[in-house]
Amino acid sequence: MTDRQLEELENVRKLLMLLLYKMGATQDEVATALDVTQARVSQMLPTTGIRPAKVECLGTEEQR
């Protein structure tokens, strides 16, 4: 894998983590999913300044 490819994968991981935070996931939850410590997650993507987003369920009334 080239350095450029590795950098792109790291960027994708950070963007996915950001999305999870915006949806309300905690660093502990992300750490569990990645099988790392909460401290490692904090190093990978500090959450200071990240505000939750309003997320609405898409689907039919019966699915909600």
Interval 38-48: pLDDT, tens: 999 999 888 88
Domain assignment of residue 14, given as a range: 3-63
Give tens-digit pLDDT for 18-44: 999 898 899 999 999 999 999 999 998
Query: For the whole model, what pTM was predicted?
Result: 0.72
Sign of CA dihedral 33, 28, 48, 19: positive
First to last CA, the chain: 43
Structural domains counted in the chain: 1
In a 3-state reduction of DSSP, which class is residue 59? Answer: coil
Instruction: Look at residue 60 and tell me whether its pLDDT is greater than 80.
Output: no
Give percent above pLDDT 90 in the chain.
56
How high is the mean pLDDT of the chain? 88
Q: What is the pLDDT of residue 33?
A: 92
Q: What is the pLDDT of residue 55?
A: 75
